[in-house]
């Protein structure tokens, strides 16, 4: 099927990045959020990020102007009913996602494909609560969306081939690479990445090393571009904990037990960069380790 109009639900870190790359690739984008300030911030951030691409001569000024013109912000979720494909990028809580789909589904066109940018929640389960499980799949972008080249495509048990091919075609059109994953907890990237981050927190918790030594060890010893604790702060410690809980609950294996220190940081509201404090304190000119 021909996809021309794309709805993006959630104007946060992931949603604005998805809107950015879709509009730049020529799709008409309806960007939805429940908060007008979030929409305003998203459009402003997209504009700045596109301008950065112009400055680096990745795109032309004309391409930037056309991309911005293709994005329409809306506070009304049901406006997305007229799109050909919807990408849900709301909070990583299943109850929130279910409520969104429940409100949206009665207003969708028959051919509209529903997708979720979830990083860990069962696609089969989300799809089963809609009227179109065969036209539902996981469309998991990496953060930051404009920079990262991978998109995980996750089929639920009922996802049909036409839906998969349509989504794969979009990934190709936006110039990224698709990795196909089966619908098991946390899929591929987070199934491997989050236990590594969790183990780094255990290493800190048990006093094997401090924040600096752990991050330096992995950057210089394993050639990682970011240390695992620095990366956890970038992702959001609440997101890391949520994914570890999905792995622990879904696979019933003690190796996925979230570190108590990770839980403690989340309980304290120390969620990383977005709150100004996590494994590092971001209040000054330079991040300072908190342990």
CA distance 160 to 158: 6
The response to whether 12 counts as a known ligand-binding position is yes
Strand residue runs (E) in the chain:
5-9, 28-32, 71-74, 85-88, 113-116, 136-141, 150-155, 177-181, 280-281, 288-289
Backbone phi and psi for residue 213, each to the nearest 5 degrees, phi listed first:
-65, -35
The response to whether 94 counts as a known ligand-binding position is no
CA distance 89 to 99: 13
Chain centroid to Cα 121, Å, comes to: 12
CB burial of residue 211 (10 Å; 0-12, 13-18, 19+): buried
The response to whether 13 counts as a known ligand-binding position is yes
The response to whether 128 counts as a known ligand-binding position is no
β-strand partners of 28? 5
The response to whether 97 counts as a known ligand-binding position is yes
The response to whether 274 counts as a known ligand-binding position is yes
User: CA of 120: how far to CAs of 45, 101, 108, 187, 259, in Å?
Assistant: 26, 17, 25, 6, 18
Active site members: 119, 140, 152, 190
Specify whether the CB–CB gap between 172 and 186 falls below 8 A.
no
The response to whether 92 counts as a known ligand-binding position is yes
Q: Tell me the three state secondary structure of residue 289.
A: strand
The response to whether 11 counts as a known ligand-binding position is yes
Specify whether the CB–CB gap between 279 and 233 falls below 8 A.
yes
The response to whether 120 counts as a known ligand-binding position is no
β-strand partners of 116? 88, 138
Q: What is the DSSP letter of 186?
A: T
Binding site listing for NAD(+): 10-15, 33, 92, 97, 119, 143, 274
User: Residues annotated in the binding site, as ranges?
Assistant: 10-15, 33, 92, 97, 119, 143, 274
């Amino acid at each position: 099927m021909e996809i021309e109009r794309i709805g993006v639900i959630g104007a946060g870190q992931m949603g604005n990045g998805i809107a950015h790359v879709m509009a730049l690739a020529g799709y008409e984008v309806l960007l939805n959020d429940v908060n007008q300030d979030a929409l305003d911030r998203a459009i402003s951030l997209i504009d700045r990020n596109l301008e950065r691409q112009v400055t680096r001569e990745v795109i032309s000024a004309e391409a930037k102007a056309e991309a911005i013109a293709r994005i329409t912000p809306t506070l009304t979720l049901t406006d997305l009913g007229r799109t050909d494909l919807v990408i849900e990028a709301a909070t990583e809580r299943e109850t929130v996602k279910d409520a969104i789909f429940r409100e949206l589904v009665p207003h969708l066109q028959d051919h509209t494909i529903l997708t979720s940018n979830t990083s860990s929640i069962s696609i089969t389960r989300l799809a089963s609560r809609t009227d179109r499980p065969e036209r539902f799949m996981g469309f998991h972008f990496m953060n930051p969306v404009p920079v990262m080249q991978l998109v995980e495509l996750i089929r639920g048990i009922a996802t049909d081939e036409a839906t998969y091919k349509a989504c794969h075609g979009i990934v190709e059109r936006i110039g990224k690479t698709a990795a196909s994953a089966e619908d098991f907890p946390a899929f591929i990237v987070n199934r491997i990445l989050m236990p590594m981050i969790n183990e780094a927190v255990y290493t800190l918790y048990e006093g094997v090393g401090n924040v600096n030594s752990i991050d330096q060890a992995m950057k210089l010893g394993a050639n990682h571009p970011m240390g695992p604790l620095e990366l956890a702060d970038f992702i959001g410690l609440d997101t890391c904990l949520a994914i570890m809980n999905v792995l622990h609950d879904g696979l019933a294996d003690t190796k996925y037990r979230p570190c108590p220190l990770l839980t403690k940081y989340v309980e304290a509201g120390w969620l990383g960069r977005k709150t100004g404090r996590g494994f590092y304190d971001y209040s000054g000119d330079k991040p300072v380790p908190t342990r």
